[in-house]
Amino acid sequence: MTIPEEGYLLRIFIGESDRHGHQPLYESIVLQARKAGLAGATVLRGVMGFGKHSILHTAKILRLSEDLPMVIEIVDSLERIEKFLPVLDALIKDGLVTIEKVRVIHYRA
């Protein structure tokens, strides 16, 4: 698979405790991205953040049970990402989704 030099980054911000059925939401998103044939996905766990409701989530030692921020990043062509958006819309109840243009330097196996 190739990604054009002018690729697009789909970035999804959700909470660690967000679920889709019995599965963590970030896991469902990655599995659906794979099923859709997207080039790849990476899940990043944040140590601190807040969202729409301004509730602060942190990984400080006394607050380990807090709902930490999760970011899923997917880079592919705009066409493939736009085709994936309805799938994503069906999965996400709360969160933030952004798309930005990126320059792809390397995509090698």
Task: Residue 19: give the domain boundaries.
Answer: 6-103
> What's the pTM value of the predicted model, to 2 decimals?
0.87
64-78 pLDDT, tens digit each: 556 789 999 999 999
**What are 1-58's pLDDT values in tens digits?**
677 788 999 999 999 999 999 999 999 999 999 999 999 999 999 888 877 777 777 7
Residues 6+ apart with CB under 8 A from 4: 77, 104
Domain count, the chain: 1
Q: Please give the distance of CA 28 from its chain centroid, rounded to a whole number.
A: 10
Written as one letter, the residue type at 106 is H
Q: Is residue 109 situated within a structural domain?
A: no
Tokens 């601190």 correspond to what residue? 48
- Assess if residue 108 is contained within a domain: no
Q: How far is CA 5 from CA 38, 96, 106, 109, in A?
A: 15, 25, 9, 16
Residue 41 maps to which CATH number? 3.30.70.120
